[in-house]
Amino acid sequence: MQDIVLETALDWRAVAAVADGAALSLSDSARQRVETASRIVAAIVESGARAYGVNTGVGALADTVVDRPSQSRLSRNIILSHACGIGPLLDARAVRAIIAAQIANFSHGHSGVRPVIVETLQAFLREDCIPEVPAKGSAGYLSHNAHIALVLIGEGRARLKGRPTSGAEALKTLGIEPLVLQAKEGLSLVNGTACSTGLGSLALARAERFLEWADAIAALTIEALGCQAAAFDGPVLALRKSKGIAKVGRVLRERLAGSGLIEAAKGARTQDALSLRSVPHAHGAGWDVFDFVGSIVDQELASVTDNPAVSGTPEAPLVSSEAHAVAPGLGQALDSLSVAVSQISAMSERRIDRLVNPLVSGLPAFLATDPGAGSGFMIAQYTAAALAAENRRLGAPASLDGGVTSALQEDFLAHPTAAANKLLAVIDNAEQILGIEFAAAAQAQDFKVAVAPRAKGTDALYRHIRAVLPTYADDRPLGWDLEKARDLLRRTPPPGI
């Protein structure tokens, strides 16, 4: 995997690549920006000018002055007190994504951490040292980042090349001394939107794979049910203006090109049910939202999200208290992608029902090879319906949750991290629903072999799943098959035509 070099900013694809194992290095100019910002903070400390989080407390303690001998202790105490996440641990990819986004924020040159902090975070990525970060407990961005910072100072816990260990032992194994934080460094390490942008980047990568598979699997179902493909003709879809609709229409036409099953069903009905006929519209809307959210995450990664921001020069330092660590736009965007993915997976569940329902499918009841003695995919549809219902509940916007913290000082919360975690949970469910449709569509295709040949594009999909899943005959626990189908979607892109 190619390493990522940070020049001026990362985009979400670069963050996702680091999550998948790429190393991250800084260009000379990026390193210089970090060094200059560190010197600016040192100059502020030397001057004694009041600066939030440098020589004052944080949150509601912003007006409490911290004397110079206590400023290093302030930084350490911020890490210890803010590391109060709870719940299950984030996986390694998620933590790597957060670290990548954090390095990107520091590299803008307005945070003021010393280069050694960035270098140690880079070492974590390079040496597969993954701090243990609880998934829950962040109203904005603080607790996740604090748990990563614990390991920098020799506290907390980590997994070093997959082996659980203490933060102190991890540093010792890597030959790194625990860092003694200087003024502002504790605040910078917990501040900013690295958590939500990192998790958002990871979610975008998974959402893109999900959308690709959703388009492909829908084509397999459309063919198995003998749909009227004229609804997907280019000139017809062009009447509704949407890049996403045009994109999905092209995929369906390519996947279904030359299908004997589609030709055999031509004219069999005037129009199909909306879960089939409006695939370009629902999936296309998802692609449009995906593109928008990608632009918002990239915008966030290109932005300074530290408070305060330092600027100027070491000779003429400036410090600005602002609200750049608050990210309402990011929370709203991630919420919108949750809705889009939830809707597409709900439509997938409706197609599953049409595949298994003998009242509309024209196929054996519940796709059973021996209906009556066997239930086939009857209960698989129940599973899909339950997951779709859960996604509807998760579709409520986290960005509207609100809340008041820090003695009324932080009386507006945008919840971008909650929105990112919720989006990842929605994608988990959506991938499984789509895996069920994949397995059911392949089963339906088994009953159509004698009718007419499949298209080349759908046959590639059929062969892809049949390489790991034989036809289901009520001869094994079906849940295992459904998980294997889901894992296919997670591991690989749809096979080419």
CATH number at 252 reads: 1.20.200.10
Residue ending a domain, choose from 145, 163, 191:
191
Measure the CA–CA gap between 135 and 384, rounded to whole angstroms.
26
Residue ending a domain, choose from 191, 223, 257 = 191
Distance of CA 113 to the CA centre of its chain: 27
Alpha-carbon distance of 291 to 285, in angstroms, equals: 10
331, 398 in Cβ contact below 8 A? yes
Same domain, 231 and 148: no
The string over 57-68, giving b where at least 16 C-beta atoms fall within 10 Å of a residue's C-beta and e elsewhere, is bbeebeeeebee
Same structural domain, 88 and 208: no
Whether the CB-CB separation of 5 and 99 falls below 8 Å is answered with no
Q: What φ, ψ does residue 26 adopt, rounded to 5°? A: -105, 140
Report if residue 196 sits inside a domain: no
* Domain co-membership, 410 together with 354: yes
Shared domain for 9 and 94, answered yes or no, is yes
Asked if the structure places residue 454 within a domain, the reply is: yes
- Residue 496: inside a domain, yes or no? no
CA distance 233 to 346: 24
CATH of residue 53's domain is 1.10.275.10
Asked whether residue 497 is domain-assigned, the answer is no
Please tell me the predicted confidence (pLDDT) of residue 412. 65
What pLDDT sits at residue 138? 80
Element (H, E) at 393: helix 378-394
Arithmetic mean of pLDDT over the chain: 94
| Largest Cα–Cα separation, the chain | 85
The tens digit of pLDDT for each residue in 402-457 reads 777 767 677 767 789 999 999 999 999 999 999 999 999 999 999 999 999 999 99
* Count of structural domains, the chain: 2
Confidence band, pLDDT 50/70/90 cuts, at residue 86: very high
- Domain with 429, as residue range(s), is 202-491
Q: Which of 137, 160, 191 is the last residue of a domain?
A: 191
Tokens of 45: 């400390």
* Shared domain check, 95 and 168: yes
Is residue 1's pLDDT more than 70? no
- The residue annotated as part of the active site, out of 52, 141, 462, 472, is 52
pLDDT at residue 2 greater than cutoff 90: no
Tell me the average pLDDT across 375-404: 93
Q: What angle do CA 393, 367, 477 make, to 5 degrees?
A: 70
- What would the pLDDT profile of 242-268 be if each residue is shown by its tens digit? 999 999 999 999 999 999 999 999 999
% the chain with pLDDT above 70: 96
CA dist., res. 491 & res. 497, Å (int):
18
Whole-number pLDDT of residue 113: 96
pLDDT band at 492 (very low <50, low <70, confident <90, very high): very high
Specify the pLDDT at position 60.
59
Is 285 inside any structural domain?
yes
Is 472 catalytic? The answer is no
Mean pLDDT of 319-339: 92
Q: In DSSP terms, which residues pair with 405 in a beta bridge?
A: 410
DSSP symbol at 469? -
φ/ψ (deg, to 5) at 358 = -65, -15
- What's the pTM? 0.95
Helices (H), strands (E): how many in the chain? Answer: 20, 9
**For the segment 175-196, what is each residue's pLDDT rounded down to a tens digit?**
999 999 998 899 999 999 999 9
* E-assigned strand segments in 146-211: 157-160, 163-166
Same domain flag for 11 and 130:
yes
Residue 197 in domain: no
271 lies in the same domain as 389: yes
List Cα–Cα distances, 100 to 7, 105, 148, 196, 244, in angstroms.
Answer: 13, 9, 12, 12, 30
Tokens 């006929």: give the residue: 277
Q: Check whether 121 has a pLDDT greater than 70.
A: yes
Both 24 and 60 in one domain: the answer is yes
Q: 172 with 244, same domain?
A: no
In this structure, are residues 119 and 179 in contact, taking their beta carbons and an 8 Å threshold? no
Identify whether 170 is part of a domain: yes
Same domain, 337 and 211: yes
Is residue 183 in some structural domain? Answer: yes
Contact 214, 285 (CB under 8 A): no
Q: What are the backbone dihedrals phi and psi of residue 302, each rounded to the nearest 5 degrees, phi first?
A: -85, -5
| Contacts for 162 with CB less than 8 Å, ≥ 6 apart | 128
- Report the percent of the chain where pLDDT is more than 90: 83
Mean pLDDT of 116-144: 92
Q: What confidence tier does 149 reach under pLDDT thresholds 50, 70, 90?
A: very high
Token pair 């932005």 is found at 303
Residues 176 and 207 in one domain: no
pLDDT at 70: 72
368 lies in the same domain as 243: yes
